[in-house]
Amino acid sequence: MSPFAPSELSCYLSDEKGQRLDPLKTNAIYYKEIVSRRKQLLELTKLQTGETIFLQQVTITISGFVVVTTNQLSSNPISFSATKELLISAPEEVPLTFSVKQCRCEALFCPQEDEKEGQIKVIINIDTIVDAEKQRKILLGSKTGSAPFKEKMCIETMNIFDSVSFQQKITVFTNKPMDSSTSHISGHIVQHCSEPAKVYFRAIDPFPSAQIQIENHSDCPMKAIVHVDHERKVSQIIEKDQKVRFDVSEIQRLVIKGDGEGGVCEGAFSLFLSHKKKPVSRDSDLD
């Protein structure tokens, strides 16, 4: 049986640092077209004009972050993502604009009989409008006054190719927010690719758990080495222009090493740390 009442459980859209976002604001939810558009065999005929048009298949990713709260405790930002395929009349050179019409987030405790008992199920429902539109310039000519000469005028107008909407339901699972304090640490990575590994973060025992994000802005790969404790460590290669995220149950040190000859390794790191609170011993109270 969960120690929390359902009414105490909630969630909201956030950025990667856990700051609350308005879902209707631009870029609160991230959309990206990931596959080149393919012309479909399906044809549509416009009734008014009789013109025949083709629909293109578009594949996009939808991603963002949510935070779960319960009993005045908040989780670290939880990433979510999904892939969606659309049919839209939009030539490849026409950009797509995405806007959120509505976004609802719901957090539920998994029932005892569920294999994910003890976890929280987060459901994100997003209503999206996709517009295919492109600005174009039109050159107009007209006669002015009584003299028979033409005055040319250039105006800009928005050419709308198509507009579609869709609903997307995304489900993620997370652990209950723990009785812990959280902190965020970030910084820049700058070092020569050939120099020895460099320490960018060191924790004092007890070691916190961490969500780690590392970005590589250099031309050569870099290697992140996380010392989980005094004996264990995990490593991750970050390729050129890549951003990676991973979680560790404990972090004692974060070390970065360049993987190349010459040049400078540049990038950024971000740590979301969760520090378990130590219980207070009542036996130590003074009489």
- Residues 215-256 have pLDDT tens digits of 999 888 999 999 987 788 999 999 988 989 888 888 999 999
Closest CA to 69 of 35, 24, 123, 120: 120
pLDDT at residue 161 above 70? yes
pLDDT for position 274 = 79
CB under 8 Å to 281, separation ≥6 — which residues?
Answer: none
The per-residue pLDDT for 184 is: 80
Strand order in the sheet with 119-143: 96-109, 119-143, 150-175
Least confident of 94-98, 150-154, 163-167: 150-154
Name the most confidently modeled range: 114-123, 178-187, 198-207: 198-207
Please, which pLDDT band fits residue 39 given cuts at 50, 70 and 90? low
Mean pLDDT, the chain, rounded, equals 80
pTM higher than 0.75: no
Q: What is the pLDDT of residue 226?
A: 93
The pLDDT score that the predictor gives to residue 23 is 93
CB 87 within 8 A of CB 42: yes
Q: Is the pLDDT of residue 68 over 50?
A: yes
